[in-house]
Structure 1
Amino acid sequence: MSDAQEGTAATDSGSGLDRLLDAIAALCRFITGVSLVVLTVIFGWLVFGRYVLNATPTWVEQAALLLVMVIAFLGAAVGVHEHTHLSVSLLRGLVPAWLRTVFVVATDLLLAGFGLLMLIYGGQLTLFKWGSLIPLIGLPEGLRSLPLTVGGGLIVLFSLAHLWRVVQGRDLRRDTIE
């Protein structure tokens, strides 16, 4: 089973909450995919403008920074939901199943805490910077940190959902009780 299939199989799609979270993750994947395509297209326009038209479009860099933020933070949240985020599993693989479950729960708690910090401080930064504009594209500066805020909130939501499934005995991740 591939990692992506394993991550998807980590949720029991029987509950309404799980289906809702799967839909949110699918929406995030769609947004990040579109953002990646747009990023590729605007960099193509940058190269064309610079070398063919001899007129570099200056807005591309600022737009690219926004798109990278969207891709990074929404993509990270999806990775938490699908249990495909970067983790070191060597130690978990060497310990007994009961301790492995403790490690998985601790990881979910740490991720939820980190996501909460992203949500709180990203929200403060977004509100603080919303009144100024990004040079060259004229959008609110707070848009730069909005993906951080949304991604943090989603990480909290997805991590707590993992914990809820563990409590209910419905967690199907390979790292938990086998």
Structure 2
Amino acid sequence: MNTDIEASREALPALHDRLLDGLARLCLIVAGVLLVFLILSFGWLVFGRYVLNNTPTWIEQSSLLIVVYITCLGAAAGVRFRSHLSIDFIRDGAPALPRAIMQLVADAFVLLFGAFMAWQGGLMVMNNLGRPIPMLGLSESWRAAPLVICGVLMVLFTLADALTRILVPAREEE
């Protein structure tokens, strides 16, 4: 009976890690598909401008919108996979306690930044519901929505990593 409980305790972090990794990979897949669409649309822009002598006007506005989604989704995945540019040699060279404190402070900054980005992005979404994007007809809220998505994902990914870092060593000592 005791081994069943221990096995379920160990399976839960593995399941939550797989779910969060899958969510981050989904962000990268969507960003990749959007990048392909961006490249194809610019190809169409060049073809329309120089071959057909009829510039498609919607491409500029759609590309600005797509770049925001690509950037925000990639940033959120970067938080999950810890692939952002950072200088870790000071933290990695520190003793265990200062290293843990530095990591918690860094996590707190990312949490605050992600929460602030989601909150302010949400305000921008609500304030721009009635304003259309020129040439596209979509609401300007579509430009702010990636800020909300990215902020929420940054908070989720950072909380999961911080909790894992805090709880896993305590479980190993038992």
For the aligned pair, the TM-score class normalised by the smaller chain equals 0.7 to 0.9
Residue 114 of structure 1 aligns with an amino acid whose one-letter code is F
Secondary structure at 1:146 match in 2: helix
Q: Displacement of 1:133 after TM fit? A: 0.8
**Match in the other structure for 2:50:** 51
Amino acid across the alignment from 2:157:
F
Comparing 98-107 and 135-144, the one that deviates more: 98-107
Q: Which digits, 9 at most, give the CA deviation of each residue in 1:102-129, with x for residues without a partner? A: 2122111110110000000000101111
Kindly indicate which of the two structures has a greater share of residues assigned to helix. 2
Q: Is the 8 A contact 1:126 1:142 kept in 2?
A: yes
Query: Match for residue 138 of structure 1?
Result: 137
**Moved >3 Å (runs of 4+):** none
Matches of 2:76 and 2:167, distance apart in 1: 22
Q: How does the TM-score come out when normalised to structure 1? A: 0.84
What is the CA–CA distance in structure 1 between the aligned matches of 2:46 and 2:22, rounded to whole Å?
A: 36
* Identity in percent: 44
Q: How does 1:1-178 map to 2 (within 5 A)?
A: 14-169=13-168
Alignment match, 2:5: none
- Cα deviation, 1:19-41, whole Å, max 9, x if unaligned, reads 21112111111110001000100
Aligned equivalents of 2:166 and 2:126: distance in 1? 36
CA positional deviation for 1:13: 8.6
Q: Which has the larger radius of gyration?
A: 2
Query: What is the CA distance between 1:14 and its match in structure 2?
Result: 4.9
Secondary structure of 1:119's partner? helix
Q: CA RMSD in A?
A: 1.6
Structure 2: 5+ residue runs without aligned partners? 1-10, 170-174
Residues 58, 93 of structure 1: CA spacing in aligned structure 2 closer, same or farther, 3 A cutoff?
A: same
Q: CA deviation at 1:90?
A: 2.9
Greater relative contact order, per chain length (Cα 8 Å cut-off, separation 6+): 1
Contact 1:13–1:19 (CA under 8 A) maintained in structure 2: no
Q: Give the total of aligned pairs.
A: 159
